Structure 1
């Protein structure tokens, strides 16, 4: 789950984050979104795990999907409701206890805030929350350590192979991967990986 220092950082920067990364013209991750949606049945039930300001949850609703959105930040949850009309349950990652409920789980650069020691258990929770064959999208930053950025946010970094191995160990089958480079809220350009898998 996100720690207090990370949540405090997002509380201070929630509006700036939403304005910078939740705009309709931000199409950088459209291919990832389309690949994920293509794996879902019409009207499928999706969990947006760590939904932030709600832009992806809103797009899923527009596509006719039923969306459950969660985030550990009350400030992000408030923005999702204010800007997109998306109600968000304020909850940490380890509050996920559903079993066989979702057709898909979207964890777009959210689980990277979980300590490496907790990560396998979170993947297990996601796997059990999915219906058999359910789709999983996860975005993570590449690296080999954990620590904080200058804003105080905690990050855990992984290698692509390491992430794939952890997903397989949790019961997932890898569907595809994509690497890219992007600038985040802290201003630096970092390499990331998107992995699409199914339960």
Structure 2
């Protein structure tokens, strides 16, 4: 994610985001379903880790976690709040092959332009070990746009996401719909897909 407006919005609100961000229990099932297919002590990439909540949870549950985010401000919050060392990187910077048992892309790739999305998934597919798992959470809708904070979003329907994942070599195992209020204070519909390479 290299959109200046999106990065500026997160930079200005990093502390508030960390203070307010307490994932509700509806995401416990997503987490449990994802880690159920990981080997004990497996390696997880938290892509777009934000303030580090999920990365800390992976770590505390015994997984080796690589936390990545494009926002230096979010990385600093993750370090100060959870002791998580975050690599400052964008989606295009994921260039490893066969490294991760799982990739947690939880409401991060929704900031990528639609034209770039398949390429990012291809990179993630390559970064996984054979049979590795992906958890992908995205907002539902059509097209692209900005929210009230100026953040860029790309929106999808589940069948569209399934089609792109299939082309990129993923097999979807489960999907779940939900609604949640984000940093902008608006209730949005979303879908969480768990897949394997």
Q: Counterparts of 1:83 and 1:18 in 2: how far apart (Å)?
A: 8
Q: Which one of 87, 90, 97 corresponds to residue 89 of structure 1?
A: 87
Map Cα deviations across residues 2-28 of structure 1 (whole Å, 9 max, x no partner). 41110000000111111111x3x7323
Q: Which one of 138, 141, 152 corresponds to residue 139 of structure 2?
A: 141
Q: Which runs of 5+ in 2 are unaligned?
A: none
Q: Which contiguous aligned blocks of 4+ residues in structure 1 show a shift greater than 6 angstroms?
A: none
Query: What is the aligned-residue RMSD (CA, Å)?
Result: 0.9
Equivalent residue, structure 2, for 1:171: 169
Tell me the SS of whatever aligns to 1:18: helix
The two structures have a TM-score, normalised by structure 1, of 0.97
Map Cα deviations across residues 143-174 of structure 1 (whole Å, 9 max, x no partner). 01101011010000001100010000100000
- Count residues with an aligned counterpart: 197
Map Cα deviations across residues 105-145 of structure 1 (whole Å, 9 max, x no partner). 00000000000000000000000000000010010000011
Map Cα deviations across residues 60-91 of structure 1 (whole Å, 9 max, x no partner). 01110000000000000001100000000000
Q: Counterparts of 2:2 and 2:128 in 1: how far apart (Å)?
A: 22
Q: Counterparts of 1:146 and 1:177 in 2: how far apart (Å)?
A: 22
Alpha-carbon distance change, 20 to 2 in structure 1, aligned in 2, over 3 angstroms = farther
Q: Counterparts of 2:2 and 2:74 in 1: how far apart (Å)?
A: 13
Equivalent residue, structure 2, for 1:6: 6
Equivalent residue, structure 2, for 1:102: 100
The two structures have a TM-score, normalised by structure 2, of 0.98
